[in-house]
Amino acid sequence: MKNAASFLSLALCFSMPAFAQNAATPAQVNDAQPAANLRDVRAAAERGEAAAQSDLGGMYEKGIGIEKDEAQAVLWYRKAAEQGYAAAQSSLGMMYEDGRGVAQDRAQAIALYRKAAEQGHADGQNNLGLMYEYGQGVTRDYAQALALFRKAADQGSVQAQGNLGNMYAFGRGVAKDYVQAAGWYRKAADQGEAHAQFNLGVMYEEGRGVAHDYAQAAVWYRKAAEQGIAFAQFNLGLLYANGRGVVQDDAEAVSWYRKAAALGDTDAQDALRTMQARGRGNSKRP
């Protein structure tokens, strides 16, 4: 089972890419009428309305109602950010962090995240926290990361809640506390965050911070697996293979192993070969 070591591995995967999304769908955009929305948003942006400029940047970044153009996204995020619009500051910071539409510049990313964070913007706080956690462009400082994650998590940021769970799980900037870790993972998992769902499944399987419960582990692994998390697919396959928390079912085990294997999970690929060698579940080599 991907347990202690893989729990660490997955949690790191959860934190590092967990820069908050720039904006789910720009606030003024209705996907059902992209042309009309684009026209209205562009008109407002050209009048100098910061929220519309930020929304237009999001439309260019994601290709909503218009051809994707990251350079244009940067242009419109910058216009809004220069007016002090926190959401655009955080979004522009991500473009600098990733080097999308602009040359990669972590110092600029940090400066923009900090501006957004100082206005109380949850994504800016979370993103700046990640820079401190991993020492990217700043000296690594777990205490600063923890404080920033907590501010964002208290505002309901699902990414920050998961990241705060990691800090408690690994004792970064705070004493290791599995009960607190499980509590924060649950907050994120209940909002549908797939990596937190996986991590909560591990907590149940290992009995860390919660009562040991294979059935609950299966519930949370399934939620994450259905969102395409390979580790969760593999662990759910193992539960089926061993009849832990679910009725033993080789065919189901193979089905989940196959999904994880297709995503490149080498343990799942090995498990499929083992099932095939033992004539279980009608497995085929990935």
DSSP 283: -
Query: Span 120-124, mean pLDDT?
Result: 97
CATH superfamily for 1-19+161-286 is: Tetratricopeptide repeat domain (1.25.40.10)
Give ∠ CA 260-266-267 in degrees, rounded to 5.
80
Residue in the block written with tokens 């913007």: 121
Q: What is the pLDDT of residue 36?
A: 64
Confidence of residue 11 (pLDDT cuts 50, 70, 90): very low
CATH topology of domain 21-119: 1.25.40
- Note the pLDDT of residue 116: 98
What are the residue ranges of CATH 1.25.40.10 in the chain?
Answer: 1-19+161-286, 21-119
Mean pLDDT, rounded, for 65-78: 97
Chain-centre distance of CA 117, in angstroms? Answer: 19
> Is residue 92 predicted with pLDDT exceeding 90?
yes
Give dist(CA 29, CA 229) in Å, integer. 29
**Residue 59 above 80 pLDDT?**
yes
Average pLDDT value for residue range 71-83: 98
Residue of 286 and 206 predicted with greater confidence: 206
Residue with tokens 């009725």: 247
Tell me the mean pLDDT in the region 100-128.
98
Q: How confident is the model at residue 21 (pLDDT cuts 50, 70, 90)?
A: very low
Question: Does the pLDDT value for residue 281 go beyond 80?
Answer: no
Asked whether residue 109 carries a pLDDT value surpassing 70, the answer given is yes
Q: Which residues of 182-193 are buried (b: 16+ CB within 10 A; e: fewer)?
A: bbbbbbbbeeeb
Confidence (pTM): 0.84
- pLDDT of 79 > 60? The answer is yes
Q: Which whole number is the average pLDDT over 215-233? A: 98
**pLDDT tens-place string over residues 167-217:** 999 999 999 999 999 999 999 999 999 999 999 999 999 999 999 999 999
Of the candidates 22, 14, 126, 15, which has an alpha carbon nearest to the alpha carbon of residue 74? 22
pLDDT band for position 35 (50/70/90)? low
- Residue 27 confidence (pLDDT): 52
CA 29, CA 63: separation in Å to the nearest integer? 12
Taking residues 67-85, what's their average pLDDT?
98
The total of other beta-carbon atoms located within 10 Å of residue 280's CB is: 14
Residue-level pLDDT at 283: 45
Q: What pLDDT is attached to residue 280?
A: 87
pLDDT for the residue numbered 4: 33
Q: Distance (Å, rounded) from C-alpha 166 to C-alpha 187?
A: 13
Confidence of residue 37 (pLDDT cuts 50, 70, 90): confident
Q: What percent of the chain has pLDDT over 90?
A: 83
